[in-house]
Structure 1
Amino acid sequence: MSTKRTGVSGRMLLFLFILPAVLTACLPGGNPDAPIPQALIAAERPATRVVVVLPGRGDDIAALRASGIAEAVQSAWPDADVVLTGLGFGYYMQGRAPQRLHEEVVVPARTRGYREVWLLGASMGGMGSLMYDRAYPGDATGLVLLAPYVGDRKLIDEISHTGLAGWQPGAPPERVDAGNYQRELWRHLQTWQRDPSRTRTVWLGYGEQDRLAGAMPPLAGLLPARNVAVVEGGHAWKVWSPLARHLLSTAGPAQLEGAQRSP
């Protein structure tokens, strides 16, 4: 498995988001010629970590502010600053969303002295978090995935039929494009299966009625059971924000236990 830090083509994301399951009309996409919009929600106490929030397909920073996600994060982690980002559809279309996220958000956060940098993404943002991990494996302290988009039904059925361990993605392509990006994301996720310690810092939550719920079991199967939460509800922040609070409340003790186990 190559860890070459390749981008994802605009054509690929165009293909992704014309899918009826995830398309919503007249949604903000961001201006990829401008820096990624960011809004810092500072913790009330000195912050030791930061949670970077990646928006869903229809979100901008104003929508993220209204979603309650910052309050949910800081309710679970009072020592966390929250950075809301406007990493919208336009940045993915440009083909360098993971690299832009790294250069403009993650690296500057580290220079500010946080001991932990987490990515939290919903829907498109969950996919973006996984794309970041593919480009920069293990770079983020942890990932919180809220109903992430991980591929079309045909591919999910193919993986479910064989099991991820037995699934054959084929020869690695020279470049990622509209015809292979989903398989390449799952090729990366196979590396998680071969290294179970990698999944201790990944959490997944979604609603039972979410339109993407059928695609979640293969991903959930890679994670420790305590890292997965399924609740009533659909594809919306009113489900995801409470889920994020629950998952981060779980992640805090898990991180502490992991540190205690380390030599």
Structure 2
Amino acid sequence: MVLLLNSCGFLPRSTPAPVADLKAGAHDGEELVVFLPGRWSTMDEFKREGFFQIASERWPDAELVAVDLHLGYYRKRLSAKRLHEDVIAPARSRGVKRVRVVGISMGGLGALIHDLEYPEDIDEMYLLSPFVGEEKVTEEIRSAGGVRNWKGEPTGDRDYSRRLWRSLELKWLEQRDRPEVILACGTEDRLVESNRLFAQDFLSEEQTLWQSGGHEWPTWRSLFREMIR
């Protein structure tokens, strides 16, 4: 996460409030599907790549919202606040009963962070190739035999990766408090090993889906269609 947030190639974008979004589907129902983009993606790609269509076929009465939570919001630690205040809380106030969040890559990380900060917001979480921490940290956990055996602790306020795993261990494993979760990843994806580790520690076999493909839209589209059947 530190590498993700501090990449020298990052060009700052503004972080307006409320966050921009792209809506489709029903606007007065009891279901909301929220799409969170990856680091190099934009919110409009969910419509272009067929995700809105797939979701509307599965949940025809749901409102669909792709949210422009780009890297700038994560750098300023505003992603969860903006998603809660600008999207989910208003939806709940107008009668939405079930919130589903679909996060791709960095968006998957955003979904996890959000569940830790606003534990009552998300009912279902669909993670596609989620970024789950720096490689050096996931390797520490793998070498220890899993998060329960791992002795690592956050070394400072900016140690996002260790903080993420420790927080999820406490909330998801010890307190057994989490939304319904499904994780899907391509077997040639550059994040597949960290995803397998994450699934091994936090999810059951029934909550995971693996399919040939890389870190790209055709793979995510195929996996998304399969995971919401």
TM-score w.r.t. the length of structure 2 is 0.88
Q: After the TM superposition, which segments of 4 or more aligned residues of structure 1 sit over 3 Å from their partners?
A: none
Partner of 1:193 in structure 2?
Answer: 173
Flag the 1:94–1:46 CA change in 2: closer, same or farther, 3 A: closer
**How far apart are residue 32 of structure 1 and its match?**
0.2
**How far apart are residue 63 of structure 1 and its match?**
2.0
Q: Could you say what secondary structure the match of 1:209 adopts?
A: coil
Q: Could you say what secondary structure the match of 1:117 adopts?
A: strand
Question: Deviations along 1:164-211, whole A, 9 cap, x unmatched?
Answer: 1111233x66x631xx11000001221212245x45601100100111
Partner of 1:257 in structure 2?
Answer: none
- Give the letter aligned to residue 94 of structure 1: K
Does residue 33 in structure 1 map to residue 33 in structure 2? no
Q: Structure 1 vs Structure 2: percent identity of aligned residues? A: 34
1:48 to 13, 22, 30: 30
Q: Could you say what secondary structure the match of 1:101 adopts?
A: helix
Q: Distance in 2 between matches of 1:86 and 1:164?
A: 32
Partner of 2:142 in structure 1?
Answer: 160
Contact 1:38 1:83 in 2 (8 A): yes
Q: Distance in 2 between matches of 1:17 and 1:65?
A: 26
**Structure 1 residue runs without a partner (length 5+):** 1-11, 250-263
Partner of 2:63 in structure 1?
Answer: 81
How many aligned positions are there?
226
Partner of 1:150 in structure 2?
Answer: 132
Contact 1:199 1:223 in 2 (8 A): no
**How far apart are residue 34 of structure 1 and its match?**
4.4
- Give the letter aligned to residue 39 of structure 1: L
Q: Could you say what secondary structure the match of 2:119 adopts?
A: coil
Flag the 1:128–1:200 CA change in 2: closer, same or farther, 3 A: closer
Partner of 1:128 in structure 2?
Answer: 110
Partner of 2:93 in structure 1?
Answer: 111
- Give the letter aligned to residue 16 of structure 1: L
Contact 1:30 1:87 in 2 (8 A): no
Flag the 1:200–1:113 CA change in 2: closer, same or farther, 3 A: closer
Partner of 2:213 in structure 1?
Answer: 233
2:4 to 13, 16, 24: 16
Q: Distance in 1 between matches of 2:21 and 2:179?
A: 28
Question: Deviations along 1:94-151, whole A, 9 cap, x unmatched?
Answer: 2221111111111011122111011111001000001101112243111111111111
Q: Could you say what secondary structure the match of 1:176 adopts?
A: coil
**How far apart are residue 217 of structure 1 and its match?**
1.6
Q: Could you say what secondary structure the match of 1:61 adopts?
A: coil
Q: Distance in 2 between matches of 1:199 and 1:114?
A: 19
- Give the letter aligned to residue 174 of structure 2: R
Matches within 5 A, 1:52-63: 52-63=34-45
Q: Distance in 2 between matches of 1:48 and 1:97?
A: 24
Flag the 1:166–1:59 CA change in 2: closer, same or farther, 3 A: same
